[in-house]
């Protein structure tokens, strides 16, 4: 991150750390055995399902997986859909798109809707057995003819033809779990919730002859019969791994862990150590940094050594016994 940003500045390019996908440690990590409730979002539960090791490194040690930029076009579609459905929520009417799709669900009117749809707030419930406060921001809630709440999630994409159903891809399984966590949360708050949830899938047509400053979308309502039986057992597993001093195993298909292992192996073959331990005292060494960095450094990992570089400059410094190792 530091060297990439420095090169970019030499080239006259400016990027923020957020644009590079680097998350600054602004939250308090989980402490083993802590008594205070620990908040955990729907997306973090999904992270645990995909890789317990990455999850614990993130939640307990503030080591987050780098993220890419947000899909602002998708966000715009979500925002506009919410505005449309809010008008019908106020009027108690069915949206014309739903009528076209043969659906008579009405937007749910509740004073908490704005909070339930807001990121970092959302629908919240404290699971007392684990002391985990689970939360997630829904896209929308509708009501069926039996008076049950129906969880709705907006999705948008661009394809040659409309999305008619979800497949067996792993991210589609994540979409299914997303609806199921919302169903579970609302039931914990005492609401009657239908097992059937829906994706309102908006597909932009990319087969037009020209852009002409607009996109045309085809809407499809895709149903999902939710099974929330996995949610509570997963919370117990999360609590167990958060309180374990040892890191859990990686997820079987975790690309991040595979990349790290492959990178560490290749780097080791080239003779470079990756945060080795001091043979004298056992402390993790710091990487010696020379020159002027482009931004702030993590003092637990790096030691600033000034701008003068000689043939005997050390590559590593022990922060405990101050021994020097290697040649930079």
Confidence grade of residue 153 (pLDDT, cut at 50, 70, 90): very high
Q: Which range has the worst mean pLDDT, 2-6, 149-153, 177-181?
A: 2-6
**What single-letter DSSP state applies at residue 277?**
B
Across the chain, mean pLDDT equals 84
For 260, counting Cβ atoms within 10 Å of its Cβ (0-12 exposed, 13-18 middle, 19+ buried), the class is: middle
Residue 242 and residue 248: Cα distance in Å, rounded? 9
Q: What is the CA radius of gyration of the chain?
A: 25
Q: Mind listing the pLDDT tens digit for each residue in 15-32?
A: 333 333 333 333 689 999
Sheet bearing 132-136, strands edge to edge: 38-41, 132-136, 123-127
What is the residue-wise DSSP string for 63-108?
A: -PPP-----HHHHHHHHHHHHHHHHHHHHT---HHHHHTT---EEP
Confidence grade of residue 225 (pLDDT, cut at 50, 70, 90): very high
Using CA of residue 55, residue 45, residue 201, residue 172, what is the dihedral sign?
A: positive
Residue pair 155/202 in contact (Cβ under 8 Å)? The answer is yes
Residue 125: pLDDT over 70: yes
The values of phi and psi at residue 312, to 5°, are -110, 15
Could you tell me the CA-to-CA distances from 156 to 71, 117, 220, 328 in Å, in that order?
10, 17, 10, 50
Mean pLDDT (whole number) for 271-280: 67
More confident residue, 157 or 46: 46
- At 245 the pLDDT is 92
- At 177 the pLDDT is 97
Residue 154 and residue 150: Cα distance in Å, rounded? 13
- At 14 the pLDDT is 35
Residues paired with residue 125 on neighbouring β-strands, in sequence order:
134
Q: 115-119: which pairs have CB atoms within 8 A and are 24 or more residues apart?
A: 116/141, 117/82
State the pTM of this model: 0.76
Residue pair 154/202 in contact (Cβ under 8 Å)? The answer is yes
Residue 212: pLDDT over 70: yes
Residue 274: pLDDT over 90: no
Residue pair 287/301 in contact (Cβ under 8 Å)? The answer is yes
Residue 12: pLDDT over 50: no
Confidence grade of residue 80 (pLDDT, cut at 50, 70, 90): very high
The Cα angle at residue 27 between residues 21 and 33, in degrees rounded to 5: 125
Residue 234 and residue 48: Cα distance in Å, rounded? 9
More confident residue, 282 or 146: 146
Question: What is the percentage of the chain residues whose pLDDT exceeds 90?
Answer: 52
- At 273 the pLDDT is 63
More confident residue, 310 or 134: 134
- What are 296's two structure tokens? 């702030």
- At 100 the pLDDT is 85
For 311, counting Cβ atoms within 10 Å of its Cβ (0-12 exposed, 13-18 middle, 19+ buried), the class is: exposed
- What are 195's two structure tokens? 């097992």
Residue pair 136/42 in contact (Cβ under 8 Å)? The answer is yes
- At 9 the pLDDT is 35
Place of tokens 């014309």: 96
CB neighbours (10 Å) of residue 51? Answer: 22
Residue among 102, 100, 105, 71 nearest 85 (CA): 105
Beta strand pairing call for 217-225 and 106-107: unpaired
100 contact partners, CB below 8 Å, separation of at least 6: 219
Confidence grade of residue 327 (pLDDT, cut at 50, 70, 90): low
Confidence grade of residue 299 (pLDDT, cut at 50, 70, 90): confident
């Amino acid at each position: 991150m530091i060297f990439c940003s420095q090169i970019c500045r030499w080239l006259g390019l400016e990027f923020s750390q957020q644009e590079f996908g680097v998350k600054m440690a602004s939250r308090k990590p989980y402490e083993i055995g802590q008594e205070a409730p620990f908040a955990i979002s729907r997306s973090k539960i999904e992270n645990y399902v995909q890789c317990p090791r990455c999850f614990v490194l993130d939640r307990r040690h503030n080591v987050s997986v780098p993220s890419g930029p947000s899909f602002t076009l998708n966000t715009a579609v979500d925002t506009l859909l919410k505005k449309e459905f809010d008008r019908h929520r106020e009027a108690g009417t069915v949206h014309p798109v739903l009528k076209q799709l043969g659906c008579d669900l009405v937007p749910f009117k509740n004073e908490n809707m704005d909070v339930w749809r807001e990121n970092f707030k959302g629908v919240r419930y404290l699971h007392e057995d684990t002391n985990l406060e689970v939360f997630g921001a829904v896209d929308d809630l509708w009501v069926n003819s039996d008076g049950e709440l129906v969880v709705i999630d907006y999705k948008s994409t661009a394809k040659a033809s409309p999305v008619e159903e979800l497949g067996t891809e792993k991210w589609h399984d994540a979409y299914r779990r997303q609806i199921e966590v919302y169903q579970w949360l609302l039931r914990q708050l005492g609401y009657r919730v239908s097992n059937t949830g829906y994706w309102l899938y908006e597909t932009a047509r990319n087969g037009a002859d020209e852009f002409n400053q607009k996109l045309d979308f085809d809407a499809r309502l895709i149903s999902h019969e939710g099974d929330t039986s996995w949610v509570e057992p997963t919370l117990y597993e999360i609590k167990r791994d958060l309180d374990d001093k040892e890191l859990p195993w990686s997820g079987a298909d975790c690309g991040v862990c595979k990349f790290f292992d492959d990178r560490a192996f290749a780097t080791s073959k080239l003779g470079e150590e990756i945060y080795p331990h001091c043979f004298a005292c056992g402390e993790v060494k710091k990487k010696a940094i020379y020159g002027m960095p482009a931004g702030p450094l993590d003092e637990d990992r790096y030691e600033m050594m000034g701008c003068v570089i000689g043939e005997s400059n050390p590559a590593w410094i022990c922060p405990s016994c101050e021994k020097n190792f290697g040649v930079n």
